[in-house]
Amino acid sequence: MPFPVTLSYALIFLRQDCDFAFIWDKIDEIYLFIFRIVAMTYIVALTGGIGSGKSTVANEFAKLGVTIIDADVIARQVVEPGTPVLDAIKHRFGDNILNVDGSLNRSTLRQRIFASLQEKQWLNNLLHPLIHEETQRQFQTLTGSYLLWVVPLLVENGLQQYAQRVLVVDVNRNIQLERTLARDGTSLQQAENILAAQATQEQRLAYADDIIDNNSSQSELAPRVAELHRHYLKLAAAATNRMTKNE
């Protein structure tokens, strides 16, 4: 799949507030154990480009009691202030890698790892075990009929194979740019570069089982999510029945 993305364990810090993008190598090594654990769980993978509104959609599902496992959230958790990871990053790159409140300055780190393959590999080696461990831990504590797995680069990294259903949050490019510029404080060129490194709208939609059009107002989002939630409950129940009969 010819996406202009370099696979590694590193986190490419595409946004300053949230919405990290996982760009991993050896994907099967990471997820084989996890998905053995959740073999009886119906997985809906939620994806979409930057600025599409994935987090907003995930929050609507969470309001309905759906279990959410979010790659972005896990990425943030392992570099929170006070964690050994952040201490190691500070030791490696210096105090200017932190914001005044002690949190990670993702913009500065992004510049550093983009400029050096060696530094990127160092970050890969640091982050991989912790992200792997936390992802496993969350999958082992699953509840509910189905789970929503939020992965920004699902299609780019071929992870759709691990889900029973793929839900794409779709939005036109102009809105993506507007939201990204307003939210992240990035330049237009930086936003364009991020979009260029992700799957196109057509490539992403080719894997979609379900689509949420997020070009409209948020008031239209909740009814659509509720509709999909009812649908997924039925699909999950049917899948469970089939598995039970085959045992």
Whether 158 has a binding-site annotation, put simply, is no
Whether 102 has a binding-site annotation, put simply, is no
Whether 145 has a binding-site annotation, put simply, is no
Alpha helices, DSSP H only, in the chain? 27-37, 54-63, 71-77, 84-93, 106-115, 117-140, 173-184, 188-196, 201-205, 221-246
Residue 149: both structure tokens together = 């797995």
The DSSP string of 153-215 is: TTTTTTGGGG-SEEEEEE--HHHHHHHHHHHH---HHHHHHHHHTS--HHHHHTT-SEEEE-S
Contact 44, 212 (CB under 8 A): no
Whether 53 has a binding-site annotation, put simply, is yes
Whether 51 has a binding-site annotation, put simply, is yes
Residue 153: both structure tokens together = 């680069």
Residue 18: both structure tokens together = 């949230």
Whether 55 has a binding-site annotation, put simply, is yes
d(CA 198, CA 61): 25
Q: Could you tell me the end-to-end alpha-carbon distance of the chain, in angstroms, rounded to an integer?
A: 36
Q: What is the CB neighbour count within 10 angstroms for residue 21? A: 23
d(CA 159, CA 123): 22
Contact 152, 21 (CB under 8 A): yes
User: What residues are designated binding site?
Assistant: 51-56
Question: From the annotation, which residues make up the binding site for ATP?
Answer: 51-56
